Chains A and B, each alone.
Chain A
Amino acid sequence: MGKYTFKGKAAVSVAAIAALALTGCANVGGGGGGEETGGGDNGGGQEGGVLTIAETNAFTGANPAYTKANLDINGKVATGTREGFIYVNPSQEIQRNEGFGTFEKTSDDPLTVEYTLNDPQWSDGNKIDKADVMLWWATSSGYYDDGDAEAKTGKDYFTIAGSTDILGHTDIPEFSEDGKSFTLTYDEPQADWEIALDQDYLHPAHVVAEEAGMTEDELLTVLEDSPEGDPESPKENADLAKIGKAWDTAFNFTATPENDKLLLSNGPYKIQDIVENSSLTMVKNDQYNGEHEGKLDEITVRFIGDSTAQIQALRNGEVDIMAPVSVNKDTIDQVKEIDSVNVLQGQDLSYDHVDLNFGTETFKDKNVREAFLKTIPRQQIVDQLIKPVTDDASVLNSQMYVSSQGEPYEKATETNEAETLYGEVDIDGAKQLLGGKTPTVRILYNNENPARVDSFQLIKESAEKAGFKVEDLGDPSWSEKLPDGDYEASLFGWVSPGVGTEVLSQIFKTGGGGNYNDYSNADVDKLVDEARSNLDNDSRVDQMVEIDKHTFEDAYGLPLFQNPGFFGVSEDIEGVEYQPNQDGAFWNLWEWSRK
C-alpha cells in the first residue's frame, strides 16, 4: 500500500518545483501585441471567415484556474473568452491591456497598486463590477482560506491550480465610490506585482452567485463581511463554501452546457458549441467593447491527439493551424513539404541539461565531474537533434539565461567561459583527469521522450570512450525518482522562468527544494541571498552571472540546448505569430484573419 500513500519527501520537493515553475508561468500569462497592431493594417486580411486549429488535448472546462481543469487547452480557449489588465507578447514582455483597464503603482512602501476598470462587460451585457473583482481577488489571494493540510483542519474555499504567493500578501481591495477603481496594498514588496491578477481566475460573479444559490449582492456581502482566514483557529463559513463549490465545479463541462450563462465571456470570442472530445467552436462576442475585437467570425478548435494525424489533417486542409507535441525533424519536414502551409519557427522556453549528483561517491571528486562533462558531445547533440529542426541552433552555454533573452545571456557566456571549458569534447583530457579510473555513471532520464533517449545515447557513447561505464536509468516516471538522488547524473529539462529570482534559491542554494544534485557552494549561497533582495535589475544580472560562473567552475553540470518549436499555418491565414508560452498560437487570436 506504500505505493499509494502520499510520500512526505516527495511532497516537499514537489512544492519546490511548483513555486519555481510558477514564476515561469505567471510571467507567461496572457495575450500580446500591445502596440495597437490589432487594426486592419495587415493588408490582405479581411473581416469574417472561419478558421480551424488542431489541439492535442480535449477541452474539459471553462475555468482553467480550477485544479482539475488546469489543462493547456482550457487556458488556450480562455485567451479568447477572458481578458484582464495585462497579457504577454512573444518576447515574454508584459503588455498592458487598456481596453480592459489600467493600473499603476502609487507607493513603494508599502507596495500599493491602484487599478481602474475601463467599463468592461460580460457577453450578456452585465458590467464587470465590484462583485466580479472581489471574487477575482478572493480566488487568487486565498484570503479566506484557513485550511491546514498537516492537521487536516479548516478549509481552502477555492481549489485553485496556482499559488496564492503574490496576492496572499494583500489586504481586502479598497474600492472607489463608483466602484470603477480599486486599490491593493501589499504587506511586503512583491517583484511580480504586475502579473498578480490573472484573467484565468476572472469569472462572472452573477453566474457564480446563481450557481451558489444566492444573488450577486449577497455574494458581494459574503466576500466583504467574511474575516481573513486563520489556519490556527479555523471557522466554518457555509456561504463561502457554497461560493467556492460553485466556482470550482460550475464551469466544468465537456459538452455544451444547458445553462448558457456558464459560457459568458469578456474576451473577443465566446464559446458557442462544444462537441465532447471532438471540437469546440467560438464565435465573435458581439458585446465586446475592448481593444482586441476579433476579425474572424468563428474559430473552431479540433482535438486531434496524434501528431501524425494532426499533420495529415493540415495537409488535407481540415485544419488551418497546428502545433505538434513532438517537435522533430520529421514533423517539421512534413509540414514544410506542404505547399499551402507556412512554418513559423521559434525557440521554446524550455531547455535540456545534464546535472551531476554531488551527493554520490563518483562525483564527489571534482576531477571526475570535469572529466565527465568534457565527454558530453554537446555540439553533436545539437547538430543531430536540433539543427535538423532549426538551422541556427546552437549549444546553450548558461545555467541562468536562455539565448533568446539576449543581453544577459551574452554577458553570462562571456563570464562563465563555458565555451573554452566545455566547448569541445575532450576525451584525452577526460582520460587524464580520470587517471585510469573507470567510474560508473547511472543517468536518469525520461525514456518516453525521443530526444532525451537520443541525447542519452550520444552521451553514453562519448563517455564510454573516456573509460566511464554508463548505465541506463531511463524511466517514464523519472520525475518521481529525481528527488531520491539514486543516480550519478540526470538529464532533464527546466522551463526557463525568464524573470524572477526564486529559481536561484530553489536550484542553486544549499538545500534548495529543486537542488536535487546536492550542490553546495558558500559563495553561491551568499550571492543568491543578495540577488533575491536586490531590486535593481542591472546589478542583479551581474550577481546572477557570477553564480553562473561558479556553477561552471564547480563542474555543476552542463546545459545542452534550448528546445525548438514551430506552428504550421495555412497560407490562407494571416496574423498568427510564434509564441513559446503555453498559450501557443492562441495568444493573439483576435488578430487572426483569412485572406
Chain B
Amino acid sequence: MISYILRRLITAVLILLGASFIVYIMTAASGDPLWDLYGHPNAAQLIPDRIDSLNLDQPPILRYFTWLGGALGCLVPFSDMCSLGVTRDGLEVTQLLLFAMGQTIMLVTAGTILAIVIGITLGIVSALRQYSGLDYGVTFFTFLCFSLPSFWLAVLLKEIVAISFNDFLQDPVMSVGTILAIGVVAGFIWYLVSFGRMKTRILMGVLGFLVTSGIVYFVLATNWLTAPFLGIPLILLTGVLVAVIATILISGLRNKRALYSGLATVLVGLIVYFPVQSFFRGAGLWTVIILCLVMIVIGAAIGYFAGGYDRGQGMRVAGITGFFVALLIILDRFMQSWPDYLDSGRIRGRPIATASASTPGLTGDFWIIGIDRFTHLLLPTIALTLLALASYSRYSRASMLEIMGQDYIRTARAKGLSERTVVMRHAFRNALIPLATLVAYDIGALIGGAIITESVFAFTGMGQLFVTAVRNVDPNPVMGVFLITGIVAMVFNLIADLVYSVLDPRVRVKA
C-alpha cells in the first residue's frame, strides 16, 4: 500500500511538472504581455519597468525555469525561498493565492455539499420510482439545470431571488388570489411528481395545494419574512418530524424504543432552549459547535439507556435528532437577530445581496455576521448547486438502478427483509461506492471550475485571479492557480482510488 502511494506520488510530481511547463509556455505564447501599455500615457516609464520586473527580455523557457526555481523553494519548510513570482502589477502571487483560495473555498463548499446531498437523494428516489412522474420530473429538471449557461442563470437569480425578493420585502403583502394561485401551481407540481394510483396522486396534489397556501399565508400573516422565528412550537414540530424520519430511515417505525429516544431528545432540546439563550449572547463559532456536540451526545446517551435489542439504532436515531434540534435552536437564534440585521444602516431593509462575500464595514456580533455571510452566499450557492445537481443525481440514479437489479438484492428480498432494509442496508450503501470517486474528482475540478460563478458574483477567488491573468498575458498568477488546482486534482484522484479500494473489496490497488 505504502509503496503504491509513493509510486503514485512520484508520478504525480512528474505529471505536475510536465503540465506546468505546458501551461507556462501556453500562457506566455497567448499574447503580448505589454499589450495594455501601448498607447498608455506613461508608457515610456511603464514598458521598460515591466520588462525588467517580469524578465520579459528572456525567452519563456528560461522564465519557466526561474519560476520553477521559486516554486521548488516552497518545498523547503520554514525558509523564505518560496516564491511563485509576482504579477505584472508587482504583487506576490503566493499572497494573492492564499486570499483567493479562501474566497473560492468559501464559495464552493456549501454549494458542493448541497449538490451532493440533494443530487444523491433525488437520484436514489427517482431510481426507486423509475419511469414515474417523479423520475421524469427530476430528470427534466436536472438536465435543464445542467444545460443552463452559468452566468445566464446567475443573472436570472440576481434578478428574481435578490432584487425582486428585496423589493417584495419592502411591502410584503399578497392578495388572496395570488396565494391561492401559488398553491395551485405547487399542488400541480406535487401531482406531477407524485406516483402511485390516480387517487393517491390527486390526493397529493390537494395536499400540496393546502400545505403551500397555508405556509405562504402563515409567513405573510405573521410578518415572518421581516421578523422570522421558530420558537418552541415550530422547533417541537420540526424536531418530531426529524425524529420520525430518522427512525423510518435507520430502524423502521417498528423499533419503538428508537422512536421514543428520538422524541425524548427533542424534549431535552426544548428544555435546553431557554438556558442556552443566555450563552448565545457572547457566542462564537465554538459555542455553536459545542451545542451541536452536546446535543448529539445527549441523544446518543438517551438511545443507549433506552436500550432494546439494537442499542446502536436507537443511539443513531437520537443522536441525529439531537444534532438537528441543536441546529434548529441555533437557527432560531439567528432568526432573532434578523430584524436587527435588516434595520442596520448598511442593509437598509434589502438583505439578499448580489455581489461579493460580505457587506463591507458591517460590524456586529457572531449572529449578525453569520446572517451577512448567509445573505451573500445564498445566490452563488443556489447557482452552484443547481449546476452540479445533474451529475450527482444522474449518476446515483444509474448506480442505484444497476444495484437494484443485482442478484443479492433479489436474495435479500427473498429472505423476507423489509423494503426499507433492502434499500437502506443493501442497495444504498453499495450505490454510494462509485459516487465516492465522483465526489473526489469533482472537488478537484471545482476548485478551479467555479470561474464564471465567481466573476458574476464578484468573488475574487482563484477563478477571477486566473481570468484576469489570462487576459493580461501574465503567466505567474496563471501558474499559481494551476498549481493549486493541479495538486488538488492529483491528491483527490489518489484519494478517490484509495477510497474505492477500501470501500469495494473487489478492487485492489496494485502494491
Asked if A and B form a direct contact in the complex, defined as CB atoms under 8 angstroms apart, the reply is yes
B18 at the interface (CB under 8 A from A): no
Question: A60 to B89, Cβ gap below 8 A?
Answer: yes
Question: B90 to A68, Cβ gap below 8 A?
Answer: yes
Interface segment out of the listed B122-130, B296-304, B356-364, B412-420: B356-364
Q: Which residues of A contact B360 (CB under 8 A)?
A: 52, 275, 278-281, 300, 302
B59 at the interface (CB under 8 A from A): yes
A313 at the interface (CB under 8 A from B): yes
Q: How far is the CA of A21 from the CA of B44 in the complex (A)?
A: 12
Q: How far is the CA of A281 from the CA of B346 in the complex (A)?
A: 13
Q: How far is the CA of A272 from the CA of B372 in the complex (A)?
A: 21
Question: A313 to B460, Cβ gap below 8 A?
Answer: no
Q: Which of B39, B90, B95, B460 contacts A17 (CB 8 A)?
A: B39
A238 at the interface (CB under 8 A from B): no
Interface segment out of the listed B47-55, B390-398, B427-435, B441-449: B47-55
Q: Which residues of B contact A304 (CB under 8 A)?
A: 355-356, 458
Question: B41 to A313, Cβ gap below 8 A?
Answer: no
Distance to closest chain B CB from A477 (angstroms): 5
Known contacts A277-B99, A302-B356, A17 near B361 by CB under 8 Å: no
Q: Which residues of A contact B51 (CB under 8 A)?
A: 6
B69 at the interface (CB under 8 A from A): no
Interface segment out of the listed A155-163, A323-331, A545-553: A155-163
Question: B162 to A312, Cβ gap below 8 A?
Answer: yes
Known contacts A6-B47, A6-B57, A312-B158, A14 near B356 by CB under 8 Å: no
A15 at the interface (CB under 8 A from B): yes
Q: Which residues of A contact B41 (CB under 8 A)?
A: 17-18, 20-22, 24-25, 162
Q: How far is the CA of A276 from the CA of B41 in the complex (A)?
A: 27
Q: How far is the CA of A160 from the CA of B53 in the complex (A)?
A: 15
Most buried by A among B44, B57, B346, B455: B44
Q: Which residues of A contact B103 (CB under 8 A)?
A: 277
Question: A68 to B89, Cβ gap below 8 A?
Answer: yes
Distance to closest chain B CB from A396 (angstroms): 20
Would you give the 0/1 interface string for A119-160, flagging 1 where the beta carbon is closer than 8 Å to chain B?
Answer: 000000000000000000000000000000100000000011
Interface of A, secondary structure class, is mixed
Q: Which residues of B contact A49 (CB under 8 A)?
A: 345
Question: B31 to A312, Cβ gap below 8 A?
Answer: no
B42 at the interface (CB under 8 A from A): yes
Nearest A residue to B345, CB-CB: A50
Nearest A residue to B47, CB-CB: A14
Q: Which residues of B contact A277 (CB under 8 A)?
A: 99-100, 103, 460, 464
Known contacts A25-B41, A149-B48, A312-B355, A305 near B162 by CB under 8 Å: no
Q: Which residues of B contact A5 (CB under 8 A)?
A: 56-57
Interface segment out of the listed A79-87, A314-322, A524-532: A314-322
Q: How far is the CA of A66 from the CA of B166 in the complex (A)?
A: 43
B79 at the interface (CB under 8 A from A): no
Question: B38 to A309, Cβ gap below 8 A?
Answer: no
B174 at the interface (CB under 8 A from A): no
Distance to closest chain B CB from A175 (angstroms): 29
Distance to closest chain A CB from B469 (angstroms): 13
Nearest B residue to A13, CB-CB: B38
A479 at the interface (CB under 8 A from B): yes
Question: A160 to B355, Cβ gap below 8 A?
Answer: no
Question: A14 to B43, Cβ gap below 8 A?
Answer: yes
Q: Which of A6, A255, A312 contacts B354 (CB 8 A)?
A: A312
Q: Which residues of A contact B99 (CB under 8 A)?
A: 255, 276-277
Known contacts A4-B57, A159-B49, A318 near B350 by CB under 8 Å: yes
- Which residues of chain B in 337-384 are interfacial with respect to chain A, using CB atoms and an 8 Å cutoff? 345-346, 348, 350, 352-361
Question: B40 to A18, Cβ gap below 8 A?
Answer: yes
Q: Which residues of A contact B48 (CB under 8 A)?
A: 6, 149
B278 at the interface (CB under 8 A from A): no
Question: A18 to B458, Cβ gap below 8 A?
Answer: no
Question: A279 to B361, Cβ gap below 8 A?
Answer: yes
Question: A70 to B42, Cβ gap below 8 A?
Answer: yes
Distance to closest chain B CB from A8 (angstroms): 12
Q: How far is the CA of A36 from the CA of B189 in the complex (A)?
A: 65
- Which residues of chain B in 420-471 are interfacial with respect to chain A, using CB atoms and an 8 Å cutoff? 455-458, 460, 464
Q: How far is the CA of A19 from the CA of B96 in the complex (A)?
A: 34
Would you give the 0/1 interface string for A36-71, flagging 1 where the beta carbon is closer than 8 Å to chain B?
Answer: 000000000000011010000010100000011111
B312 at the interface (CB under 8 A from A): no
- Which residues of chain B in 7-59 are interfacial with respect to chain A, using CB atoms and an 8 Å cutoff? 28, 31-33, 35, 37-49, 51, 53, 56-59
Q: Which residues of B contact A25 (CB under 8 A)?
A: 41
B60 at the interface (CB under 8 A from A): yes
Question: A476 to B355, Cβ gap below 8 A?
Answer: no
Most buried by A among B31, B60, B89, B456: B89
Question: B361 to A14, Cβ gap below 8 A?
Answer: no
B5 at the interface (CB under 8 A from A): no
Q: Which of A58, A69, A70, A479 contacts B39 (CB 8 A)?
A: A479
B159 at the interface (CB under 8 A from A): yes
Distance to closest chain B CB from A35 (angstroms): 30
- Which residues of chain A in 245-287 are interfacial with respect to chain B, using CB atoms and an 8 Å cutoff? 252, 254-255, 273, 275-281
Nearest A residue to B48, CB-CB: A149
Most buried by A among B95, B346, B360: B360
Most buried by B among A50, A149, A306: A306
Q: Which residues of B contact A4 (CB under 8 A)?
A: 28, 33, 56-60
Known contacts A308-B155, A309-B354, A477-B35, A317 near B59 by CB under 8 Å: no
- Which residues of chain B in 73-93 are interfacial with respect to chain A, using CB atoms and an 8 Å cutoff? 89-91
Known contacts A4-B59, A312-B158, A317-B348, A70 near B356 by CB under 8 Å: no
Q: Which residues of B contact A255 (CB under 8 A)?
A: 99
B206 at the interface (CB under 8 A from A): no
Nearest B residue to A6, CB-CB: B51
Question: B32 to A3, Cβ gap below 8 A?
Answer: yes
Q: Which residues of B contact A182 (CB under 8 A)?
A: none
Q: How far is the CA of A520 from the CA of B28 in the complex (A)?
A: 39
Question: A14 to B37, Cβ gap below 8 A?
Answer: yes
Distance to closest chain A CB from B465 (angstroms): 9
Q: Which residues of B contact A538 (CB under 8 A)?
A: none
A393 at the interface (CB under 8 A from B): no
Q: Which residues of B contact A252 (CB under 8 A)?
A: 90-91
Q: How far is the CA of A413 from the CA of B81 in the complex (A)?
A: 64
Known contacts A278-B356, A318-B353, A305 near B458 by CB under 8 Å: yes
Distance to closest chain B CB from A582 (angstroms): 10
Q: How far is the CA of A20 from the CA of B40 in the complex (A)?
A: 10
Q: Which of B38, B361, B460, B464 contacts A10 (CB 8 A)?
A: B38
Question: B43 to A67, Cβ gap below 8 A?
Answer: no
Q: Which of A18, A52, A309 contacts B457 (CB 8 A)?
A: A309
B250 at the interface (CB under 8 A from A): no
Question: A17 to B40, Cβ gap below 8 A?
Answer: yes
Known contacts A60-B89, A60-B91, A160-B45, A480 near B38 by CB under 8 Å: yes
Distance to closest chain A CB from B50 (angstroms): 8
Known contacts A300-B360, A318-B353, A17 near B159 by CB under 8 Å: no
Known contacts A60-B89, A306-B456, A318 near B355 by CB under 8 Å: yes
Q: Which of B47, B100, B361, B457 contacts A11 (CB 8 A)?
A: B47
B163 at the interface (CB under 8 A from A): yes
Q: How far is the CA of A3 from the CA of B33 in the complex (A)?
A: 10
Known contacts A160-B45, A308-B155, A317 near B166 by CB under 8 Å: yes
Most buried by A among B53, B57, B159, B354: B354
The 3 closest A-B pairs by CB, nearest first: A279-B360, A277-B460, A21-B41
A-B contact pairs, 25 of them (CB 8 A): A14-B37, A14-B43, A15-B44, A18-B45, A19-B44, A21-B40, A22-B42, A49-B345, A52-B360, A60-B89, A254-B96, A276-B460, A278-B458, A279-B356, A302-B356, A304-B355, A306-B455, A306-B458, A309-B456, A313-B355, A317-B166, A317-B348, A318-B355, A477-B31, A477-B38
Give A residues with C-beta under 8 Å from B.
1, 3-6, 10-11, 14-15, 17-22, 24-25, 49-50, 52, 58, 60, 67-71, 149, 159-163, 252, 254-255, 273, 275-281, 298, 300, 302-306, 308-309, 312-313, 315-318, 476-477, 479-480, 482
